[in-house]
Amino acid sequence: MISQWQLRAAFAARLSEMYGREVPAYTTLVDVSREVNEDVLRAQGADAERLGSISRVTAERHGAIRVGTPAELAQVARVFGALGMRPVGFYDLREAAASAVPVVSTAFRPVDGEELARNPFRVFTSMLTPADPRFFDADLRARLETFLAGRELFPPELLALADRAEEARELPDADAERFLQLAVSAFELSTEPIDKTWYETLERVSAVAADIGGVRSTHINHLTPRVLDIDELYRRMTERGIEMIDTIQGPPRWKGPDLLLRQTSFRALAEPRALRTPDGQVTSGALRVRFGEVEARGIAVTREGRALYDRLLTLLDQRTAAHPGADRAELAHSLWTEHVPGTERELAAQKLGYFTYHLAPDRPRDGSRPPEALDDLLAQGWVRAEPLVYEDFLPRSAAGIFQSNLSDAGSRDNDQQGAAYDSDWLSGAMDRDVLDPFALYERQQNQSLAQVAAELELHLT
């Protein structure tokens, strides 16, 4: 029998192999990430593993896929459900970007601490929004929906195996093998010729719309390794002559604790694709839709911590606008230094970050009673706090990543009202709850506190 987490780990590994064959630059990114991680581990020792063991971090990936309809999204949810991955968070990329990205997204990922530690594979999953009149007029919407309704992304055999795996939380070896083959091939780049005219019609709205609705299958867009020093990675990739996007998205580099998520990518590569022209000829063209992304993960923040982050981004935008000559990264650095607590202890005390709490192995053993307040337990060495790593995504960064890999801004008619999509809508489309990331971190934190309280026979205050 192959258990759910083994299926998940095997799927991530095979997807990585497949994608490495399709996009060799990805292999370079993985190699350079590994080198950077080894160097950081050598330089920092145990500190380097504060937000995950080196084995977790080395194997860690997130994928990005894009689908066209609620029905397709519901099928994706079954495939990932088989791997113990649940939809977490709602991201509206239609609002976040200056240019047009007509999608809404969620991330499928494991949610339990133990499952995350075994293999944290996650997939940022976007769904096209044909019903949004800012992007698609009635005629194009109708053509798009007809086109999408006529395609099959996932064969029925795959979905049947997925349902069995989700229900039993394991599969017999032979079925697991079949499931993995079908699941990986569902995300391969198709060689089927693309209708050039149709693709270009959608491209005028958005390159992302064309990538999703212009073809009869889906594919993995990128697979993102995790690195412990993203600034160093950026330098080394640039040294190798790989063209990176202009910036690292997310919080700046600074002296305090790493928070949330920092991401960057290399530019989408021209990949050969077969195109069918209106006269029926098949020619070889090139499309730039897939890019290579890399990320560094920091501590998960509370709602208050997140509000602070969002406030600082707004301030940063204002300061950047007010000082056109200034370096945005430097402005960000000074804003951070001014407003963000510089230590984990302060983050926890101000309830800005999530931590789990554990009995300290070297706690007092002189028969004294432990204090009742968490602050005192920490200060007097009874309890230790371990930061929770951020397992999710950032809408503004995601929009920036989408955007910086589009050569054309596309079009959006801002005189129209946008179609309403939200987390509940997405839940309904999949018939599965889209989980609230804050609630998941909070649950982990509370469980650890309850356990500490039980072990010390305390009512924690």
Contact footprint for Ni ion (CB under 5 A): 64, 224, 293
DSSP 151: -
**CA-closest candidate to residue 394, choices 457, 256, 301:** 301
Q: CB of 102 within 8 A of CB of 136? A: yes
CA distances for 85 relative to 55, 88, 116, angstroms: 20, 9, 10
Closer to ligand OOG by CB, 40 or 223: give it. 223
Closest distance to ligand OOG from the beta carbon of 175 (Å): 30
Cα separation, 314 vs 326, in Å, equals 16
Longest dimension (CA), the chain: 88
Please choose which of Ni ion, ligand OOG, none residue 421 contacts, taking the beta carbon within 5 to 8 angstroms, the exact cut-off set by kind: none
Cα separation, 47 vs 258, in Å, equals 12
Please choose which of ligand OOG, Ni ion, none residue 126 contacts, taking the beta carbon within 5 to 8 angstroms, the exact cut-off set by kind: ligand OOG
Closest distance to ligand OOG from the beta carbon of 327 (Å): 24
Strand ranges (DSSP E) for 277-327? 282-297
CA distances for 369 relative to 245, 292, 372, 457, angstroms: 56, 54, 9, 10
Closer to ligand OOG by CB, 207 or 331: give it. 207
Q: Residue 272 pairs with which residues in a beta bridge?
A: 286
Angle, in degrees to the nearest 10, between helices 70-82 and 156-168: 50
Please choose which of Ni ion, ligand OOG, none residue 218 contacts, taking the beta carbon within 5 to 8 angstroms, the exact cut-off set by kind: none
Closest distance to ligand OOG from the beta carbon of 75 (Å): 17
Closest distance to ligand OOG from the beta carbon of 412 (Å): 17
Closest distance to ligand OOG from the beta carbon of 263 (Å): 6
Closer to ligand OOG by CB, 302 or 397: give it. 397
What is the binding site for ligand OOG (CB under 6 A)? 64, 66, 124, 126, 221, 263, 293, 393, 397-398, 401-402
Please choose which of ligand OOG, Ni ion, none residue 393 contacts, taking the beta carbon within 5 to 8 angstroms, the exact cut-off set by kind: ligand OOG
Closer to Ni ion by CB, 4 or 249: give it. 249
Please choose which of Ni ion, ligand OOG, none residue 402 contacts, taking the beta carbon within 5 to 8 angstroms, the exact cut-off set by kind: ligand OOG
Closer to ligand OOG by CB, 397 or 448: give it. 397
Q: Residue 53 pairs with which residues in a beta bridge?
A: none
Cα separation, 382 vs 460, in Å, equals 13
Closer to ligand OOG by CB, 153 or 398: give it. 398
Closest distance to ligand OOG from the beta carbon of 344 (Å): 25
Distance, CA of 93 to chain centre:
13
SS3 content of the chain, % helix, strand, coil (to 5): 50, 20, 35
Residue with CB nearest ligand OOG? 398
| 325: amino acid identity, one letter | G
Please choose which of ligand OOG, Ni ion, none residue 356 contacts, taking the beta carbon within 5 to 8 angstroms, the exact cut-off set by kind: none
Closest distance to Ni ion from the beta carbon of 261 (Å): 10
CA distances for 441 relative to 353, 375, 385, 386, 438, angstroms: 10, 20, 14, 13, 5
Which H or E element spans position 66? strand 61-67
Closer to ligand OOG by CB, 66 or 134: give it. 66
Closest distance to Ni ion from the beta carbon of 393 (Å): 7
Closer to ligand OOG by CB, 118 or 226: give it. 226
Closest distance to Ni ion from the beta carbon of 202 (Å): 22
Closer to Ni ion by CB, 62 or 236: give it. 62
CA distances for 128 relative to 6, 104, 122, 430, angstroms: 31, 7, 20, 14
